[in-house]
Structure 1
Amino acid sequence: MKIKSSNNHQTGAVSTFYDLVNTNFQGAVNAICWSRDLAGDFKEIVSKLQLKENITEVSIEDLLALQLSEKGNLARETILTDLQLLADFGASPSLNLLKSYERDEELDFISTDVYSYHVDRSTIGTDTFLCTYYGAASDILPNNQVEQKILIPEIREKLQELHNGSEAEFEAFLKEYYFDLHYQPKPNAQPINLGLGHLWKLAVDHPEQKVLPCVHRAPAENDGEYRLLLIC
């Protein structure tokens, strides 16, 4: 299927799950969206789920145990359908209730947590799928609007001081600690918000990938509000 490209040239749009999983990335497009306007009350689901940790995985059994209104049940059916579609495709989807992710505060000159713009890496051919049902939604950035953090001279110099080894070992060190996966937005960069209810497929860095991996980040959470996120 030919991707319907948006005017930012990085994202493509499809209208069915079948098209989402069967449409290949091409050219500059490394993020494809199954655009949806979902019905149902996802806030009700969030309000009735129990947060056990800052990131709590929600099981199908947890969802089915909730006593919900008609609109809440409609939202639950959507989530269950999405989980089943992805599982049937061969993915391993996870539904997470999120208060916050862990922050990386070990080094003051570079961050490697999920709030930093980054790409995903895999040793096998795969894609990242995600959908935010409730709360703040993730952002992506076009690859020409970011700079790899390890190529920024002042950051690279400090990392070299931290490593204090040969250049070959230094490159291995950058990969081992995932420094090479993180990016700094260029001045005037324009993030693309992934919005609520849409199911996205993002390109991952792996040996078979024919396009650049998609640069994305987790959003700062809204005050007093949890996020409900499907990801795999």
Structure 2
Amino acid sequence: MRIVVIGGTGLIGSRTINVLRQAGHEAIAAAPSTGVNTVTGEGLDAALVNADVVVDLANSPSFEPPAVLNFFTTHEANLVAAELRARVKHHVVLSIVGTDRLQGNAYFQAKVAQENVVKRSGVPYTVIRSTQFMEFIGTIAESGDRDGVVHVAAGLFQPIAADDVAAIVAETAQSKPRYATIEIAGPERAPFDEFIRRYLATSNDRRSVCADPDWPYFCSRLDRLSLVPLGDARLGRLDFAGWTAAHAAAAVG
């Protein structure tokens, strides 16, 4: 199959491209750096010529309202219109677990709007909602540092490794459209602060971690279940201990 990966040069996109190529597919990375801009439409029709499947992993350069909403709705409207012209058989879009439960969060609301554009487009689709990636744990920890104490939002967390996300995205792209939303998550569920504490321990970082019910997560207050699947979810293979060990080894190497 010819599979075009929008955002194919990013964290998940580059991994998805590798999985698809190893499976024998013609996987094309489409991004502004490769001459494809879904907001302006530049290069989009040419990129989708003879495409069987489009994997949509694009992300907004801004998280600020209304810019993030404008990005996702404009990007998605242009993309599905081009897919209809190219007669693409399956649109796979990556979204976020809990994106419809965090009211007042501009980024999450924009992702809901993006999903709705896909569902109403007429293109056969599958929406994949993922929990937070393990690769962003360090960034989250650093953003919460105040005078040597790492503050994090309260609630449960169930992060998933980027390699597992890519594997499931690639598998979905090779399958029939579901016309539905599926959820994916890591194999472990625990309080948010526990994951942060374990991450810091891998690098002998002795900063204390404070779980604060009022501490915002990307400008939103979390409930206990805001960021985890409420029903059945496809679980990744790599647990947090395995990921942190690999992460620490890579940092040393």
Please say whether Structure 1 and Structure 2 have the same fold, judged by a TM-score greater than 0.5: no
Relative contact order, higher structure (CA 8 A, sep 6+): 1
Higher helix share: 2
TM-score bracket, normalised by the shorter chain, equals under 0.3
TM-score (norm 1): 0.26
